[in-house]
Each structure stands twice: as C-alpha cells, then as structure tokens.
Amino acid sequence: MSGIMLLALDVGNTQTSIGLFKDSELAATWRIASDMSATADQLMLTLHALTADPGRVLAVGKSESGDPPITDAVLCSVVPALTRAWSEVAARLVGERVKVISSTCHLNFAIDYPEPREIGADRLADAACAVDRFGAPVLVVDFGTATNFELVCLASGQATFIGGIIMPGLETSAAALFSHAAKLSTVELRAPAHLVGRSSVEAVQSGLIFGEVARVDGIVTQVLAEQERLGRPKPQVVATGGLAAQVAAYSQTIERVEPDLTLMGAALLYRYNA
C-alpha cells in the first residue's frame, strides 16, 4: 500500500497513544490521558489541536506542503466506551476505511489460546509487530496500566501466540501505594542514585523502579526456564510502553526496547487486513 496517511490509535485505560503513518513510516506520535467520559466531539477537537502542524491536516484535500490528509485509520482499544467514541471520530475522518483490531482480524501469527476473544487488542498488536520485526519465538513486555507479557512461540514452523501474564503496572502500583499510605507523597517515577534510598522520596522511588525490575526479571527468568524445560528455543525479550526504557535500563533480561511497538503493530495489522 502506498499513498496513505494512516491514523493509528492505541487506547489504554490510562493513556492513549496516537500515531500518524505516512505509508509504512511512523511520522509523528502523541500521548494523551484517556478520559473515559470524553465524547467524540471532544476527541475530535483534541486531535485537531495535536495535528495542527503544517502537512498534517484532518480535512479533505491537500495541505500546503502537499502531504495528503488522513486517508485511513486503525483503532487498537481496551476501553469499550472510548472504542465507540474514537470509532466515531475515525469514521468522520475516513468513512469506512477504519479497522478495529480484534482476534477476528487476519494476523501474521496463529493463536493457540482457549478463548481468542479474550486477548486484548493491544496484546495482538504487540505480538504482530514483534513477530514482524524479530520473528518467533519472542516475549513482549508491555508497560502500561497493567504490565503484560505476551509469548509467541514456534509451533510446526509457524509463529503462534500461546498466552501471557498480566500483573498490575508500575503506575498502578504507585497509585495504590500513595492512596493507602497517608505519609507518602506522590514521587516522580525514576530510579534514585542508590538502591537504598537516603530519603522517603528516594526510598519510594527505589521500591517502585527496582521493585518493578525485580518483578519483570523474575517473571521473564521463569518463562525462559519453562520454555527450556518444554524443549522450545529461547525467545527474544522485547519491552514497550511508556516506562519501558526506565525499567530496561536496569533489567538483566530485557534485550530490546521498542517504545512504539503497539502503534506499529496496529498499523501493520491494518495493512495486513486492507
């Protein structure tokens, strides 16, 4: 496919990532808070404000720079209320040229999972891009509202999604801590200089960041050990999501960081289904 300007939307419970793809190249990205009460009109206004740069227009016709307007859209959402609102926005922009990612889509991998409909759109997009970029076997760690692990193995020579692990995300854990501990204040989610904090702020930062590193490395190590026991080849470990870089900097198991893996996977699946 060529000559398209694809709007890709990754709608999560906490944040929504927005990407513009010119043909297959990711040209621009934005990240906004996911407002469960937002209407299609409000989201349209937000989208107009974000894409007001020359050459990125949300209207019929050519921009001054000669770049095309948005021609296609793909939606990867785990929030039903926002799925409806964003679907309406996308339909206003591109008519029927909107694809909503689900397990019924054509995929670049097989699914060996008892209830494929339970697999979130973000997990499918992550797996799709990971298989396309790195091949199988691959283990994706996605840092969002939840920290998701998605395992794609090789079965009969074909990349096959077999399952994953879902646990509370880093920001979710932090919010729970601050809401239940009266004397602890919200802190910036970054690693302190030393593991043992020299202040309450550093102690909390250490617990959150290094605690997440230990959780992720522990889970990944167990997954790799199980794959070895089953006689399967070792998967590559790829991280994505807003906090992937912070955790990967101290991880002993994460091999690659791809911040826009989900958006790129959504765009890939759009092209795969077009």
Please answer whether residues 150 and 127 qualify as being in contact, where contact means their C-beta atoms are separated by less than 8 angstroms: yes
| Distance of alpha carbon 178 from alpha carbon 189, whole angstroms | 13
* Sheet bearing 146-155, strands edge to edge: 110-111, 158-168, 146-155, 138-143, 236-241, 256-257
Q: Is 126 part of the annotated catalytic residue set?
A: no
**CA 38, 44, 49, 51 torsion-angle sign:** positive
The continuous run of DSSP H or E covering 225 comes out as helix 200-229
Active-site residue among 122, 126, 142, 260? 122
SS3 helix, strand, coil % of the chain, rounded to 5? Answer: 35, 25, 35
H helix or E strand, kind and range, residue 15: strand 15-22
Contacts of 53 (CB under 8 A, 6+ apart): 28
Q: Give the Cα separation of 60 and 49 in Å (integer).
A: 17
8 Å CB contact between 237 and 253: yes
Active site residues: 122
